[in-house]
Amino acid sequence: MEENKLQDRFEWLKIEIAYQEKRSNELRWIITNETIKDKENETVFSRSVLRHPGVAAVAAINDKKEILLIEQFRYTFKTNMWEIPTGTLHGELKDGQVIAIEAPEITAARELSEEAGFCAKDFVLAQSFCVMPGTSDGYVYLFLAFGLSPKVAEKDIGEVVTKVKFFPIDQALAMINRGEIFDAKTIIGIYAAKNYLEKHSKLNV
């Protein structure tokens, strides 16, 4: 109830699309300039927002209870980064927002194949979360994947994966502590894999 009251306090007066990111005619996200009225204080202000359909991230675990990581070049940071496979959901434009038009599980399977060269028998949604709520409405859907087997698909243009490797969970945690892994979704994915393996190890004792 309180949350609804807070939402009712604000009125969107105008939403202008400043930029649309497209690849091969696929809409990936938009940047908007939004004019908002705070009805309680009678003030008007503007925000730039990255409207995003969300991404699916995959913490894939093999039979040895190791987690799969990929090393890829990130243009934003101009460096290689260790990450779990991740990709953007297909979206479409609706009322000034980008709406996902595919299930996160579909994206997870596609990205695991494209970026890491594997398919999985089972995907389990571990959790979903936002990363930059002050600037974007994009969600991360984090999956655990099991029953892995090789399956290579064509990578996106501009995507440069330099290594694909399985790591023991303890080693991946040590890489976080040393600052070698500093991507938020990957850190959360490693801890989700750790928690899952610990929980199921206790159940099987």
36 pLDDT above the threshold of 70? yes
pLDDT interval class at 1 (50, 70, 90)? very low
- Over residues 26-33, mean pLDDT: 94
202 pLDDT above the threshold of 70? no
- Over residues 175-197, mean pLDDT: 97
DSSP track, 111-160: HIIIIISEEEEEEEEEEEEES-TTTB--EEEEEEEEEEEE---PPPTT--
Q: Quick one: 89 and 163 in the same domain?
A: yes
Instruction: Please name the helix (run of DSSP H) or strand (run of DSSP E) that holds residue 98, with its range, or none.
Output: strand 97-100
Q: Quick one: 42 and 76 in the same domain?
A: no
Q: Quick one: 18 and 92 in the same domain?
A: no
How does pLDDT run across 124-145, given as a tens digit for each residue? 999 999 999 999 999 999 999 9
Q: Which 3 state secondary structure label does DSSP give 103?
A: coil
Q: Quick one: 46 and 138 in the same domain?
A: no
204 pLDDT above the threshold of 60? no
The whole-chain average pLDDT of the chain stands at 93
Q: Quick one: 94 and 78 in the same domain?
A: yes
Q: Quick one: 38 and 68 in the same domain?
A: no
- Over residues 188-205, mean pLDDT: 85
Q: Quick one: 133 and 100 in the same domain?
A: yes
Q: Quick one: 99 and 183 in the same domain?
A: yes
Q: Quick one: 83 and 126 in the same domain?
A: yes
Percent of the chain with pLDDT over 70: 96
- Over residues 4-15, mean pLDDT: 86
What pLDDT score does 128 carry?
Answer: 97
Q: Quick one: 110 and 184 in the same domain?
A: yes
Q: Give how many domains the chain has, as a whole number.
A: 2
Q: Using CA atoms, how far apart are residues 186 and 192, in angstroms rounded to an integer?
A: 10
CATH assignment at residue 173: 3.90.79.10
Q: Quick one: 193 and 93 in the same domain?
A: yes
Name the one residue in this structure whose structure tokens are 């194949």: 113
5 pLDDT above the threshold of 90? no
What pLDDT score does 24 carry?
Answer: 81
**Which range of residues forms the domain containing residue 66?**
55-203
What pLDDT score does 49 carry?
Answer: 96
Q: Quick one: 74 and 22 in the same domain?
A: no
How does pLDDT run across 60-96, given as a tens digit for each residue? 999 999 999 999 999 999 999 999 999 999 999 998 8
